[in-house]
Amino acid sequence: MTELSLFQQSALDVVSLLKTGAISPLDVIYAMEARINEVDGAVNALPTTAFDRARKHAEALMQKPLDERGILAGLPVVIKDLTPVEGVRSTLGSPIYADHIPDQSGFVVTTLEAAGGVIAAKSNTPEFGAGANTFNTVFGATLNPWNTALSAAGSSGGSAVALATGMAWLAHGTDLGGSLRNPASFNGIVGMRPSPGRVACGPGSDPFNTLGVEGPMARNVTDLALFLDAMAVTDWRSPISLETPPRAFVDHALEARLPKRVAFSMDLGITPVDPSVRAVMDQAMASIADAGVEVIHDHPDFSEAHDAFQVLRAHGFASSLHELYTDHRDQLKPEVVWNIEKGLALGGAEIARAERLRGALFDRAALFMQGVDLLLTPATIVPPYPVEERYVTECDGIGFETYIDWLAIAYAITLTGLPALSLPAGFTPSGLPCGLQCIGATRGEADLLSHAAALEAILGLSPIPIDPRPTSPSN
């Protein structure tokens, strides 16, 4: 054991202790439960715990030899409340499912359990993952631990806060319009949107969907790569599941290869950016350039991203939630109703046009990535904002028409299918974290993780977990 408490140690280090038998899965569950009891009351990140189930799973795992306990070796993990866990309350953040106990787990849950992960808690999410501020009428709002008056972002906000405060070593999330990347940025941790099919999603009504993905969140890049290894397994249950990589992602991250040439764009030509975020990005890029990386200021043409994403997102909402809308419209929050109704009003020509725009955008982005190792942008365009504000309505004097417009810098990348992660980049003058979005080539998670680990070392922002802070710290 080191001088650090278990909750302060990295996932990689705790797994190493588990694999040698220095500690047991039950020891780690106990440490996690103690930390949740200590701090979650201040942030409301993990409203549902499953420690009895976790202990039973751990005890069964402990009957196996140490070398047969999987990649995670009994490490407890957190699952976002959009994904069902058999026998555990799974609400999707909706009053419609407030008391729902599923009898079947999601694909990623069974995959993680097969890899030695122990499901110990469900993390808070906005209703059906809609909106990048984690609140709902079932559990209330999740608060940002850097300043508990502020938003944790979303929709994987509960997972991000659990990591930032040491209540988890690894946490699962989902991403359609930035839901893995935005909360990572707001909370000073790492969140990755992998390529569609890298992590098998389901069961669901649209198994061919490539806009929404599931993925890993962690406190640093190597831990995130370890978690991706546990998730990224070929799965016959998913028609778009990719082959299990021949080499572990964590090995690529541990190599930490500095990129030779990166492109940086402050706004992708499609969005305003808050001056405080601009300042953090400028400093981060200066540090990267000083380390010997060639930095060019360029980006593909994303001018049609707004039109394409708004239509395809609305179409997806109408497809997946139409029945709930018909039967329970009065129980849905207004943003979800708006998205469903927008989708129901679409014509075939509009959907076809959006698909064509997306295809052209992919072509441009994939070609652009042949000339650089990474495309870098801010992960979010604003620092954390007051939690009572449902969403960002304006930035740098420019107003937004819808509740998702402020997410364009993330959802533009969603449309390309390129893997992307948010890496801690620095702090605003009021001490609030900002993330750097790092985008890799098509299906290029291995190189992305290796380069991100090198940038992480340059930026030097991987603090041990923090206790929730009722006011912003000063720099």
pLDDT of residue 2: 41
Whether 94 is catalytic: no
Name the active-site residue from 10, 19, 80, 123: 80
**Percent of the chain as helix, strand, coil, to the nearest 5:** 40, 15, 45
Whether 155 is catalytic: yes
pLDDT of residue 3: 62
Chain centroid offset of residue 374 CA:
19
Q: Is the dihedral of CA 222, 224, 227, 232 positive or negative?
A: negative
Name the active-site residue from 94, 155, 450, 462: 155
- pTM comes to 0.97
Whether 474 is catalytic: no
Query: 375 φ, ψ to 5°?
Result: -105, 130
pLDDT tens for the chain, 475 residues: list them: 346 799 999 999 999 999 999 999 999 999 999 999 999 999 999 999 999 999 999 999 999 999 999 999 999 999 999 999 999 999 999 999 999 999 999 999 999 999 999 999 999 999 999 999 999 999 999 999 999 999 999 999 999 999 999 999 999 999 999 999 999 999 999 999 999 999 999 999 899 999 999 999 999 999 999 999 999 999 999 999 999 999 999 999 999 999 999 999 999 999 999 999 999 999 999 999 999 999 999 999 999 999 999 999 999 999 999 999 999 999 999 999 999 999 999 999 999 999 999 999 999 999 999 999 999 999 999 999 999 999 999 999 999 999 999 999 999 999 999 999 999 999 999 999 999 999 999 999 999 999 999 999 999 986 779 999 997 544 3
Q: Please, are residues 433 and 146 in contact by the beta-carbon 8 Å criterion? A: yes
Name the active-site residue from 10, 94, 156, 179: 179
pLDDT of residue 471: 76
- Which of 204, 200, 283, 206 is closest to 244 using CA atoms? 200
For the chain, first and last CA: distance in Å? 32
Which fold, 6-459? Answer: Amidase signature (AS) enzymes (3.90.1300)
Report DSSP state, residue 101: -
Q: Please, are residues 328 and 306 in contact by the beta-carbon 8 Å criterion? A: no
Q: Where are the beta strands (DSSP E) in 219-341?
A: 261-264, 294-297
Q: What ranges do the domains of the chain cover?
A: 6-459
